[in-house]
Amino acid sequence: MTAKHLSFTKIMKNFFYGIIATMISCSALNAQSLAQDLAKNQNFIKLQIANEKVLNMPKAATFGANYNSPDLTKGKETYLSNITGFSVSEISSLAYEIGSAGAAVLKDFPSLERMTNVERLELLEAAADIYLSEQRISAACQGCKRKGLSSMSNQTFLGLIAGATLSGPFAIWGGWVGATLGFWQAAEEALDCIRINC
């Protein structure tokens, strides 16, 4: 290969690297812009407020020690009432509130449905960070809440994307065994983290 060919190859290589770098940069900017739009969206804010109500449950201090997925599958509302301190009607009301807000967010941001689970979680974490930035909490505590709120939101979206309806207290969060269990597992992990760091 001549020096001329080598030079041309190097130019083309640099050209393509430049295009890839520009595409990555644009993608990062788009993700950042989308996270900011999401964090300002009233339906997203309603969803996070409802998720925070779950994290502020009356029995938050003992929820992690008492939570068990198989028991939740069997006991449903009654089991959740016993371990959260919410009444059955409060649980039903929260489920509807979370499902309604989640459905509205998906309507406002249809691209959330087309994202991979990893992409959606990264976006939700970035948006949750912006949402939480106004709260006067430590960085460690914010990290717990960011992960918890984004995981709880993602499980809600997974249920809704899977075709869940808003009729009945446990219809949202999608097939009972799937997204509902994921939602409460995310809440448990967040509360354990909050107990240590907040």
The pLDDT of residue 24 is above 60: no
Between 59 and 75, the more confident residue is 59
- In this prediction, residue 76 has a pLDDT band, given cuts at 50, 70 and 90, of confident
Q: What's residue 43's pLDDT?
A: 97
How far is C-alpha 170 from the chain's CA centre?
A: 18
- Euclidean distance between CA atoms 3 and 10, whole angstroms: 10
Q: What's residue 20's pLDDT?
A: 46
Q: Output the CA–CA distances (angstroms, integers) from residue 141 to 102, 195, 197, in the order listed.
A: 24, 9, 5
Q: What's residue 178's pLDDT?
A: 67
What percentage of the chain carries pLDDT values higher than 70?
Answer: 77
pLDDT tens by residue, 101-110: 998 999 999 9
The average pLDDT across 2-24 equals: 52
Q: Which two tokens stand for residue 190?
A: 């967040």
- In this prediction, residue 81 has a pLDDT band, given cuts at 50, 70 and 90, of very high
The average pLDDT across 166-187 equals: 65
pLDDT tens by residue, 144-165: 999 999 999 999 888 888 765 5
Q: What's residue 19's pLDDT?
A: 47
Q: How many CB atoms within 10 Å of residue 47?
A: 27
Q: Identify the sign of the CA torsion 177, 179, 185, 187.
A: negative
- Euclidean distance between CA atoms 145 and 191, whole angstroms: 9
Between 109 and 99, the more confident residue is 109
